[in-house]
Chain A
């Protein structure tokens, strides 16, 4: 019995030793919780004084709590537009940890606040635009590739769909059904992450072009089929009556008449395409969206996203304008 009590006591002692650091840590946790409760109640001054209670680390002690406390104070000061005090808190950290990135970024952000907004915006532009520009070039390349491929793919699918050969029209029906019926994101994942398991490994760019190309071919296929079938049946008859075969009638007479009525819906699809390219950022393509996201995550600076939005808008505006011009040209024969 005595023996047993002795062992239990030893075990209890070891247990206490093992959890003691947790209790030590807990004392700071309690301070932080107290501070955040105070902040929630709007008692910012009290919160600040509580945070101030956490001293700089002595000797080998970890500095995490100290850094968190001072940065929290800096944020409170900054939220009250007291940049001087906020900077002070930042620099307290930097004096001990000159490499701390959180403090460095916050200091930079505070210093930016001192200079006029438009100048800091310009400075951001200069910083972000080269990277975003590169991304935009990638997006543009992707858009142009898809715009080049999908009308031809769409035409093939449309012609297959209206053909009287059952396996061909069935196949084209299936392509349309599949690519319109599943999310583009899923198709991209399937091509980039799924195909390698079948022994086909494609670069992000190739995967993106194939995914977007197939998807948009399927959409344009339906649009083109509708346009072909909307042409007066008499046109086909007149073409046949002068001895044309099906191919000649299609390519010389029917399809050229669809151009004008194709432009508005196709323009619409292409505008959607410009924005859909953002999805390929998920398969390791560094295009405009990905670049903007990277900038935003590095600098916590909303300007990167604003600039990306402006570039997307510029692209869609430009293409809208171009499509309108083409539509006008395509229908010039209808004018009296």
Chain B
């Protein structure tokens, strides 16, 4: 398989775009997709200071890398959750990227260690609070990121949420009709009340597979192992279901999520009701009187044709 642009050997094919790319053209494609998201969702301007939430995983490190490569002023914040070997390893990966790549761009890494303030890791904390680990974790991460962004005067906070994350979350919200969450699913959330930073998701046009491929091609060393608490999560199930649909009909995930965003963006024009539309378009069939949009209904047309057709 060859690159659709320069005809050298391809390293990845993207069925949803009906395309295949070599390393160089793939990297260019990814940068263009992120630039497009930043522009169309009015995420930030070239002079803005950005704080990237990094975890050591592919999405957040790739996001930091892309923003720095595109020339943005992007620092990062890592929260060490104190989950044994997983946290040690992810912390090492983030540190390594910060020292070997980000520093050369003049970007810095801010670290918050949960154990230092809470006296224990996230699991111990969840146990004493009688709360699920992931919800405790969510509260801590949201708080720390927002606090760092506001206190250190960043214009915007960026997270590595990708197309799969957003499509899976949308599926979950629709399955349970969580209307109030649906409103917050856009890739740009404005700074709401005083004290809440603006939040953006520049990777919202890219799938997980594309982002992982970008990390491999650009030699970004990220943690492949998952947080042990994620095992058996609903999100993973939703993603698996969506990936099965995607395999059968490429483009399903983007049509689902982008279609939702488009609908959300349309101003509410008063729509014709179904009954009004029926009254406007339907009238009795010339030959049988049943309702139809044509002169003769499709049943009568079918029967007329059957009668004139030559018998076998």
Bound together: no
Chain B residues with a Cβ under 8 A of chain A: none
